[in-house]
């Protein structure tokens, strides 16, 4: 929502307020960008939160002006323009559509208006006067709004992809044009209090021009792969040793050495280059035949518990 003093304005697309990007204020002119979506309806809204005096809003879309709307303490402080009446009981909503483009050189002279791709409303202070013969105007196509879709040469679109058009007619309540109002509003005398301007483009265009933020890529943890430097190649013997070390025991034919015992921590060592199987230190465990006084040797003819020649450990986890 754009704001200037007590006044605010916004554009709704399919009933949802559009997000504004790149808001700038230049004097009494407030400008922003919004993301248009083809084949979606839109409406222009503005509001006076104080209504210290009546105001008149002069709306225009793609350079086409529409009948004014008023805010007043006796009527309402929020007004909108969502389409035009094509009869007393039907209305055609505004809708974003893709430009009619052609490569036919016969259309090279058809130049897009400078205000194509812009939705604007200028607000003025006015006065309310009493009247006996004032009738409400009918906001329809016959009041001068040129809504015929034009065809542009593809070289003349000037970076614009969408334009405003009219959707299918919708039934609305009939208005009684014979009803007289007891008042009317004077024409504006001074410059506008504020002008709100919405420039619309497709979202991908706004992102490409760094007007709207680009979506952040989502990285899945399962999709991450380790770098080569994070991979260590471990041979079969080292696998056996790591396996047995985790299980805290090394078995030979007749004995079990508990590697969790502090006195047995040096039975096997894994140096920085490769796994080695040194003989265990001498221990005096009492006479036991010809083997008395020596610890059992660790044999290297185990059946391979993994049956792998090279195993890779992912150390990035």
pLDDT at 17: 97
Using DSSP bridges, classify how beta strands 256-258 and 249-251 pair: parallel, antiparallel or unpaired. Answer: antiparallel
pLDDT at 201: 95
Contact 59, 44 (CB under 8 A): yes
pLDDT at 228: 54
Q: Decide: pTM greater than 0.85.
A: no
Residues of the chain scoring pLDDT < 50: 139-144, 249-253, 259, 264-281, 283, 286-292, 298-313, 317
Determine the 3-state secondary structure of 268 from DSSP: coil
pLDDT at 47: 95
| DSSP bridge partners of 102 | 153
pLDDT at 151: 79
Contact 129, 186 (CB under 8 A): yes
List Cβ neighbours of 257 (8 Å cut-off, separation of 6 or more): 249, 250, 264, 267, 280, 295, 296, 298
pLDDT tens column, 9-24: 999 999 999 999 999 9
pLDDT at 104: 80
Question: Which of 88, 84, 116 shows the shortest CA–CA distance to 100?
Answer: 116
DSSP string, 171-229: E-----TTPPEEEEEPPP-S--SEEEEEEEEEHHHHHHTTSSPPPPPPPPGGG----GG
Q: How many CB atoms lie within 10 A of CB 110?
A: 12
Q: Where are the domains of the chain?
A: 2-208, 224-314
Q: How many CB atoms lie within 10 A of CB 55?
A: 26
CA distance 5 to 168: 37
pLDDT at 133: 59
């Amino acid at each position: 929502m754009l704001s200037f003093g007590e006044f605010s304005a916004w554009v709704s697309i399919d009933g949802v307020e559009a997000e504004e990007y790149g808001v700038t204020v230049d004097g009494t002119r407030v400008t922003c960008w919004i993301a248009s979506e083809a084949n979606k309806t839109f409406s222009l809204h503005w509001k006076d939160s104080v209504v210290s005096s009546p105001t008149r809003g002069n709306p225009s879309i793609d350079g086409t002006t529409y009948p004014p709307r008023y805010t007043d303490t006796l009527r309402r402080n929020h007004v909108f323009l969502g389409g035009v009446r094509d009869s007393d009981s039907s209305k055609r909503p505004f809708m974003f559509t893709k430009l009619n483009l052609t490569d036919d050189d016969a259309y090279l002279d058809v130049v897009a208006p400078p205000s194509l791709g812009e939705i604007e409303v200028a607000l003025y202070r006015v006065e309310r006067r009493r009247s006996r013969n004032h009738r409400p105007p009918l906001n329809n196509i016959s009041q001068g709004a040129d809504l015929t879709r034009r065809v542009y040469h593809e070289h003349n679109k000037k970076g614009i992809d969408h334009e405003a058009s009219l959707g299918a007619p919708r039934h609305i309540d009939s208005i009684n044009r014979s009803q007289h109002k007891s008042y009317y509003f004077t024409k504006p005398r001074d410059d506008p209090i504020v002008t709100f301007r919405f420039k619309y483009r497709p979202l991908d265009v706004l992102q490409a021009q760094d007007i709207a933020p680009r979506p952040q890529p989502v990285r899945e943890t399962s999709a991450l792969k380790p770098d080569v430097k994070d991979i260590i190649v471990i041979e079969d013997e080292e696998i056996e040793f790591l396996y047995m070390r985790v299980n805290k025991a090394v078995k030979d034919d007749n004995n079990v050495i508990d590697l969790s015992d502090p006195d047995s921590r040096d039975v096997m060592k894994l140096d920085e280059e490769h796994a080695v199987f040194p003989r265990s230190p001498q221990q005096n465990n009492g006479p036991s035949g010809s083997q008395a006084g020596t610890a059992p040797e660790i044999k290297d003819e185990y059946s391979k518990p993994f049956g792998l020649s090279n195993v890779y450990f992912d150390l990035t986890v």
